[in-house]
Structure 1
Amino acid sequence: MAKKNRGTLKRFFGAGALPSEEQFSDLIDSSLNVIDEGFNKSPEHGFEISAQGDYERMLSFFRNSASQSPAWTISYDKNRDNLTFNKVDYDNSAKPVVTLNPKGQVGIAKDQPEWTLDVGGVVSAYGRIGASDADKKTIPADGQWHNITEVLSGCHGLEVMAGVGSPRTGKYALMNAIALNTFNPSGWFFNFLNLKKRIRYHQAYYFSFTNKLKLRWHGKGRQYTLQLRTNCNYGKEIQVRYYLTRLWFHEDMSESWAEQSKQIDP
């Protein structure tokens, strides 16, 4: 039994022809079967593809009809529900290029992403910008302290990029800072000179050092926020623009003992 092209099949079933059993078999083998091939189309789901047996490859893309191995494939991992776009080498080994998982995470050159975007290689970009969950991205440049985070607890690491300027006054300032805090230690003796939660700056300003920007941790007990202000009043309606980037994602440090606890026999 063999697959035939349309021209050959038409000759088998032309006027006055008497097709043989083998030719009928060729016709069947040359047609798609929704059960055997795992293809279907329905109004509800559109074009449907089902994995067959233990194979993970759902689609293969060949350079031409004479190619023995595909150039690209799309595979579906039944155990993890991951969908992966693969580049296939000439030895038929597949390397993951893009992987999507049910958590909404995307892996680039990684078949098991752990983050929203997990890149197993070098990232090239013209720039990067921080973001926050809140819509607020500015504070008044009035010399007063303003919260730039929600109420925090536990351990946090943040990068802050902020800038402010007032035209025709010479008042301009830029700040980049790294702010770390572990459960907000306080007290003049226990946290002498804020050495346990110090904020490190890179600053630039144009006219006077009084135009600079400043950060501080503010709060009582284990609850705290990060605050930002200008050292002087820049004038009415002048705003400080800032961007936040989170650098640490294990607030209670449970990752420090999680692996060890897995090894303990209950």
Structure 2
Amino acid sequence: MAKKNRETLKNYFKNGSLPSEDSFGDLIDSNLNVIDEGFDKSVEEGLKVSALGDSGKLISFFKNIPLRNPLWFVKVDPKTDNLLIGNPKNENAFSLAQDALADTEVSTEANCPAEKAKVGINKKTPEWELDVGGVVRAEGRIGISDKEVAADGKWHRITDALTGCHAFEVMAGVGGPKKAGKYALLHAYALNTYNPKGWFFNLFNLKKRIKPHHAYYRSMSDKLKLRWVGENRRYFLELRTNSDYGDDIWIKYSLTKLWFDEEMKESRS
């Protein structure tokens, strides 16, 4: 049996026509069946779609139905349950994955086990929250940016208590009162591995150096400065201005984390 268009089906059942068994078969095959077609609709869940067979495909988009290949399609990967959006030339153009967190991590709603969503571009199985298999072009990039500390010449912590191995990129800026000529920018990389201490064991802080790049307008006293501080293996990253910029003046900064294997577990197989 084959699916027929409406005009053909109407001709089967015109006055004076004698529909055959095949005619009724074509009529049935040309109508939708919830079970056979793999979709349904309900008030609670809206349109429900399930894949037929092993391809995992849910929806295909064609420029014209008679064409053999779709322009785009949506499918569920049978092995991973990831949602994939692709085309005949790139089956993994866009992917969505859900990664279960450890039992100790819970969502904010009803203390239910939380899951991390992952988005992939040109990646069938994304490993990070955004995983791009190609080049990223952007007008800019920024870390956690809603941060500020007073520009009062005193040291201020810009991280929580840390332990293990960490690497950060820091971008900070400050400007004094209008017409004061006090401006400074700081870009730095800060690395630390379990915070080695001692004048002999960590001579000149060579084991946990911070590499800064400075820009300032008037005086070196306007510059921004970073340091590691802490006791034993518990430590912090701190930021300050070299001088007091005055009341209600703030250092704005962004912090980008560059290393995620804090205990180097991935180095041990």
Match of 1:109 in 2: 122
The answer to whether residue 160 in structure 2 is matched with residue 164 in structure 1 is no
Q: Deviations over 1:149-177 (max 9, x none)?
A: 11111000000000000121111000000
Counterpart CA distance in 1 for 2:185 and 2:87 is: 44
Q: Secondary structure at the match of 1:78?
A: coil
Match of 1:72 in 2: 72
RMSD: 1.2
Matches within 5 A, 1:132-171: 137-166=147-176, 167-171=178-182
Letter matched to residue 113 of structure 1: P
> How far did 1:16 drift?
4.1
Counterpart CA distance in 2 for 1:185 and 1:196 is: 7
Match of 2:264 in 1: 253
Q: Secondary structure at the match of 2:36?
A: coil
Match of 2:194 in 1: 183
Q: Deviations over 1:186-211 (max 9, x none)?
A: 11111111110000011000000110
The answer to whether residue 143 in structure 2 is matched with residue 130 in structure 1 is yes
Letter matched to residue 141 of structure 2: R
Q: Deviations over 1:209-249 (max 9, x none)?
A: 11000000111011111000000000000000000000001
- Structure 2 counterpart of 1:219, from 202, 226, 230: 230
- Structure 1 counterpart of 2:94, from 81, 98, 101: 98
Q: Secondary structure at the match of 1:54?
A: coil
TM-score normalized by the length of structure 2: 0.90
> How far did 1:88 drift?
1.3
Match of 1:195 in 2: 206
Match of 1:86 in 2: 86
> How far did 1:79 drift?
2.3
Q: Deviations over 1:6-29 (max 9, x none)?
A: 111112223443321110000011
Letter matched to residue 216 of structure 1: R
Letter matched to residue 131 of structure 1: I
Counterpart CA distance in 2 for 1:66 and 1:79 is: 30
* Count of aligned positions: 251
Alignment check: 8 A CA contact 2:149 2:156 kept: yes
Counterpart CA distance in 2 for 1:78 and 1:54 is: 7
| More deviation, 43-52/170-179 | 43-52
Matches within 5 A, 1:13-32: 13-32=13-32
> How far did 1:81 drift?
1.4
Structure 1 residue runs of 4 or more that deviate by more than 4 Å after TM superposition: none
Letter matched to residue 142 of structure 1: D
Match of 1:264 in 2: none
Q: Deviations over 1:26-49 (max 9, x none)?
A: 001111211111111111111011
Counterpart CA distance in 1 for 2:152 and 2:240 is: 8
Match of 2:131 in 1: 118
Counterpart CA distance in 1 for 2:59 and 2:52 is: 12
Identical amino acids, percent of aligned pairs: 57
